[in-house]
Structure 1
């Protein structure tokens, strides 16, 4: 009896440590989130026996190696990097830690995964409210207008692109639950979605609107197929959202904010990516420049095309696929694409519409941002990918819902 109680308590602690990794991510600073990850890793060491971890890991060994390959390629890249210190800082350790922890424990149920997503959505709403509260206080005390997208990011203490990713994932998760909730819970979700759409308006992130239009279009198509049991009201709401989202591009305020965004113009992005490709072609095409040297010479490439803003702010590739080429060459790009398609295939074949829509957000955002080069994107992508694959690979998972 005592052993069962101890195991139950350990399961509860482990689950809440998992939750804290997601819950702390939308809030300012990274220290608390990093501490939660360390606490999770330490607790995992004593969570179960080595033999049990090994047994569980074998069940997901394919997914483990595909995810962790993005860590091992960074280790390999160290061997041919001249800037070893930068290379150490660029190691993608979460691609080893999260799949190792998540795949080596007893299965995480779909219900638990849904609870994790709900907690993340709540945390995102609270972080947005905190940022909005700061902006209102500063405005009330005549300390400046912090509702402008870059200034709003200052009160959030998060990059606009990454917080917009948090918001998009939260919107999709909350909207997905509309089909299953009734009464007050449904209205809470509708209010939360409306608020988060307003936050996206403040952030003025074009890629977020592009993703939401795509996600809404896909869910609408599914809603009118035999695979979706959504009510006519929910289907109507999806169509309305599909109409409203593109209109947001036409609002004068949003157009003004987007026009002031650095490297927002498509011609400038193409110019930027062209310089990145030129820089890549000067390096080792197969293996890239290495974990520490990926950005070497990039500023010089920007200077050659007189891209002053990129030179001043030392832009990265603003595209994760190109970033892989710079650092790890064709091999690095193949490993990233293999992970994306493996995850997409598993989620699609196991009929996981919510997980699939959320995962597509990473696929889309990677075209506009090097999301694995910052803490927020790296942690969220590696964590959710591991969780989604672990949950989707379970047998008889449908019985748990």
Structure 2
């Protein structure tokens, strides 16, 4: 009896220690040194200029000292901004904007011993007040106005935070660690047999090279939510081990399912060819980003169905542990704030320090789709699902939440007995038709849906319609080979109306199909659609569910413009196709 308690306490202490290590190194807090801003202000009329800023996680607006600028006499101004939690808003203001032209140039910022000089102000100016018209070149900004009001230029706070940012590696608060220890001891005591069975199921049998592959995959699945960038190394090593495994044990391999990846391979080579022909300066970057399309399918080759399931189980436990640990960190840090701030905004902003919330939601949905498609969910899985949806809502991943809710509801209903299933499907069909009619007749409801899905509390303005309109126009003009992925943000900014608040924010297309059209032309878009349609064409149900989710999610996000999105899509697309291929082998 005593030895069982000793083991339970020992393993619980180890678990708490690991959580503290993961919290310290992967959920580290960010602190910011004081920033000194120096710039030259010039004007053809008498004015005053100053900065207005809002510290992160605060609703206070602070103002620096006003400095007089006389007509025709450039003035060098130096200002210090000290916000230990970072900046949420930073604007350069000037008075009486309708009296003439105001300009700033020679901008430099310093933090500690480091100084940056800005030679491309297009990257520094986010947007301006509606009453002025700014003209931006590489080294200076000038603004004019015909309306009597203060003018202001919103500066990109990320550029300032990059310079002053430092990492603070701290463990969990001792009270939280103690609470987790007690929970783990209790949990381990109640579910001893289930934990032991799960650990036994993770044990790998077979030749050494196969064991090495699987344990490396387990490690990858554990680190993936916490340290996504390690995927570069672990995928390369995984593929190398797969090659060695194939050379030494060919009888373990069925390579026929690789045919299902031909569209994905062709997509990669099409992107590479377009870059070579039309956008050669981008070749190396895009090749490195999209090499996942070639390598990811080989990560899972030669792995049995049971081991693929075990791999997903490890990932499922890890990704939910990440959500729980991140939620604990957010709540703990919120109560440490010295200012009054909305919890929902704080939650969203903290998540965004580590993940784009929609991308993290995609990883969670992948795990849930696999679980719900395999078997009817338990009460425990249902509780985790509710928690995951609450997390998505608070982190403002609204479309993933809606898509996940619909897909998981359908999968749950399909697990019911036939009579009950028919009953729920009938009710669902009636509600769907009624909902469509209701939405089509209500302008207010359509506006609410648009605001819920396409905007967040931090960004009231929905930029997507304007971006899509200009992306389509540019795409029509460059349909053959596009303009190059690296030129999209600049091209969209140049086409947006000068009085638009999003003109200088340098957004991407916020639509993966338009992103590929602008980057590489119509052929790549067609090939990408074939890739997404392949699981349905070959009747692979779980891969089809994942592809369907990505099809819809990519309507409002350019997922493959970020490395995390490339990993999300290529790894789980490959996983689901390999898993479904194992089912088809036994039919």
TM-score tier after normalising by the smaller chain length: 0.7 to 0.9
Does the CA-based 8 Å contact 1:71-1:96 persist in structure 2? yes
What is the rounded CA distance, in whole Å, between the counterparts of 2:234 and 2:338 in structure 1? 34
- Correspondence for 1:159: 356
**Aligned counterparts of 2:583 and 2:317: Cα–Cα separation in 1:** 30
Structure 2, unmatched stretches of 5+, are 1-203, 436-445
Partner of 1:315: 507
Which TM-score applies when normalising by structure 1? 0.77
Q: Which residue is equivalent to 2:208?
A: 9
Deviation for aligned residue 1:42: 3.0
1:221-243 deviation line (CA, Å, top 9, x unaligned): 645xxxx658969x97xx89x99
SS in 2 for 1:15: helix
For 1:80, the equivalent position in structure 2 comes to 277
| Equivalent position of 1:341 in the other structure | 533
Residue 41 in 1 paired to residue 233 in 2? no
CA distance in 1, matches of 2:418, 2:310: 21
In structure 1, what is the equivalent of residue 261 of structure 2? 64
Query: Highest Rg: 1 or 2?
Result: 2
SS at match of 2:207: helix
Query: Relative to 1, partners in 2 of residues 1:271 and 1:255: Cα closer, same or farther, differing over 3 Å?
Result: closer
More helix by share: 1
Q: Which has more strand, going by share of residues?
A: 2
Distance 1:47-1:380 versus aligned 2 partners, 3 A rule: same
Whose RCO is larger (CA < 8 A, sep 6+)?
1
Q: What aligned pairs does 1:2-401 form with structure 2 within 5 A after superposition?
A: 8-27=207-226, 29-49=227-247, 52=250, 56-57=254-255, 59-82=256-279, 84=281, 86-91=282-287, 92-102=290-300, 105-106=301-302, 108-142=303-337, 147-148=344-345, 149-154=347-352, 157-176=354-373, 179=376, 186-216=378-408, 218-219=410-411, 222-223=414-415, 258-262=455-459, 265=462, 268-283=463-478, 285-290=479-484, 292-302=486-496, 304=497, 306-309=499-502, 311-346=503-538, 349-350=539-540, 352=541, 354-394=542-582, 397-398=585-586
Is the Cα–Cα contact under 8 Å of residues 23 and 119 in structure 1 kept in the other structure?
yes
- Classify 1:101/1:255 alpha carbon distance in 2 versus 1 (closer, same or farther; 3 Å): closer
Whether contact under 8 Å (1:321, 1:367) holds in the other structure is yes
When normalised by structure 2's length, the TM-score is 0.54
Report the count of equivalent residues. Answer: 363
| Runs of at least 4 residues off by over 6 Å | none
Alignment check: 8 A CA contact 2:235 2:299 kept: no
CA shift for structure 1 position 382: 1.0
Q: Report the secondary structure of 1:317's partner residue.
A: coil
The 1:60–1:370 alpha-carbon spacing in structure 2 relative to 1, beyond 3 Å, is same
2-structure distance, mates of 1:387, 1:67:
13
Deviation at 1:397, TM superposition (A): 3.8
Deviations 1:233-290 (A, max 9, x none): 9x97xx89x99xx9xx999xx969955353774xx4222100111222232x122224
